[in-house]
Amino acid sequence: MAETALRHRGERVAGLTLGQAFAAAASVLRQAGCETPELDARLLICEAAGLTHEAYIARARDEVAPEIAARLDASIGRRLKREPVSRIIGSREFYGRSFLVDPNALDPRPDTETLIEAALELVERNGWQKRPLKLLDLGTGTGCILITLLAELPQANGLGTDISAAALALAAANARRLGVATRASFIAGDWLDAIGGEFDLILANPPYLAASEIALLSREVAEFDPRLALDGGPDGLDAYRRITARAGQVLAPGGRILVEIGATQADDVAEILRGAGLRLDEAIGIRPDLAGRPRSVMAGV
């Protein structure tokens, strides 16, 4: 932690231990209005020092080496500009696994784990655990949805599509890193255009913000997530209309489509699904997230 990010905010850093550097960094982030200053500081100092959280605790009284100080200072400076911690350290935990992230794809959100839970509930309910399921993940981004389900369902195979070649490269890297590359394929595509075959489960976390809402987002989202992953058109529902128009043609008998939604979109998305000849899943249907807000909708033919 050099003089630039902390010293001019009144923090002296020379000779600090790792624990003291953590406290100083958390103080600066708190004063700057960051929502989770302690968590941010811990993640950044662990990344700068190349330590796990457990190793950091064991070495909290070690003095900060100059090279660690420089890396931490640079990271704190980026965070003060509201760059998300996950983008600074290059990874994000999702459903207990670490995914690489970069500027080409949406930063995975805890809310999206609602889709994982709903998909796994469907599999258990239908006794599909040992079936060679075919999964289709539309707008795959980091690949977090598809890769997580492949990791949880070792008999399944999956295809991820994205309009961004750079995002597909990132997803493929995550599939290799997390040991599912032999069961995951990735191709460039615009939603269901040019997709053939039959899939047991179609998944998507499409852009669902109305274009006018993007300017109201936090800087962490508006400035660092790709606009293509956020902008759902004038009413936020464009992607759902595109996806559902062909979903029935590529769903296998008994298959389901499962989409993430904005907190106020449950009725609108359900109506779009019904208009495309799909029926809400009787058992799962509209699923809330941990905060109790509607977060996913499941339907079938």
CB 72 within 8 A of CB 21: yes
pLDDT over 70, % of the chain: 95
Domain boundaries, the chain: 7-81, 92-300
Report the 3 state secondary structure along 140-177: CCCCHHHHHHHHHCCCCEEEEEECCHHHHHHHHHHHHH
Residue 192 amino acid letter: L
Reported as a single tens digit per residue, the pLDDT across 52-72 is 999 999 999 999 999 999 999
Give the pLDDT of residue 1.
41
**Cα distance between residue 219 and residue 83, in whole Å:** 8
Provide, for the chain, the percentages of residues in helix, strand and coil under a 3-state DSSP scheme, each rounded to the nearest 5.
45, 20, 35
* HSE, side-chain direction, 13 A CA sphere, residue 13: 26
**Quick one: CA dihedral 267, 119, 180, 156, positive or negative?**
negative
**Quick one: CA dihedral 248, 250, 252, 254, positive or negative?**
negative
Give the pLDDT of residue 15.
75
Structure tokens at 210: 């109305």
Reported as a single tens digit per residue, the pLDDT across 138-194 is 999 999 999 999 999 999 999 999 999 999 999 999 999 999 999 999 999 999 998
pLDDT profile of the chain (301 residues), mean per 10: 46 75 95 95 96 94 92 95 97 97 96 97 94 97 98 98 97 98 97 92 97 93 94 96 95 97 96 96 93 96 86
Cβ contacts of residue 68 below 8 Å, gap of 6+? 1, 48, 49
**Cα distance between residue 116 and residue 239, in whole Å:** 20
CATH architecture of the domain 92-300 equals 3-Layer(aba) Sandwich (3.40)
Give the pLDDT of residue 19.
94
CB 216 within 8 A of CB 231: no
CATH no. for 7-81: 1.10.8
